[in-house]
Copies of this chain bind each other. A is one copy, B any other.
């Protein structure tokens, strides 16, 4: 194996592989071939091998990949071994659902703080997380939290991100359906749920 920059598309697939590896490990397997992993995650086996080849030789010909070792390596690449805690801003319907969402655990992630502006909500606890006033955002970095989820109305999304950036947050998952600006040092991923639904009809057969 030689030096390679890991392609973005590969990074996008790594969590999928991680999910598949966890699933296989639960079933008591120690090794897995690219072919059986392919079957369980829905990606072709050659794609999997190519993706893994970007960050080292992990497989053994005739045997496959050591599941534990590979999973740890993927976690290391994705930096999930270091980043484990996230904050949520905006505890509306969607925010509450995210607090209750069990899926983050599969990646070792956990929402450990929640913020809102509504005095009615502040002080209450949802899914084990106490809701704080948004002013608490300023102390996030002190608390070792560098990752934030924004689930506020579109109109206040930008100012929310500005506040997070000012507080030193380094990554934002934005659910508000709009463009948000941030310095290059802060990575923002916008996830517009309605947009995903909106592009479905294009692919649906006519009649």
Which chain A residues have a beta carbon within 8 Å of chain B's beta carbons?
Answer: 11-12, 14-16, 18-19, 40-42, 77-80, 82-83, 86, 93-94, 96-98, 100-101, 103-104, 106-107, 109, 146-147, 149, 170-173, 177-179, 185, 187, 189, 191-207
Contact = CB atoms under 8 A, between A and B. Distances in A.
Contact of A79 (B16, B41, B201): B201
Assembly stoichiometry (copies): 2
B193 A98 contact: yes
A187 B203 contact: yes
A185 to B, nearest CB: 6
Contacts of A201: 78-80, 82-83, 147, 171
A41 B195 CA distance: 13
A205 B171 CA distance: 9
Contacts of A107: 194-195, 197-198
Contact of A187 (B40, B82, B204, B206): B204
Given A147-B197, A197-B104, A40 B80 contact: no
Given A93-B96, A147-B204, A187-B203, A15 B193 contact: no
B97 A149 contact: no
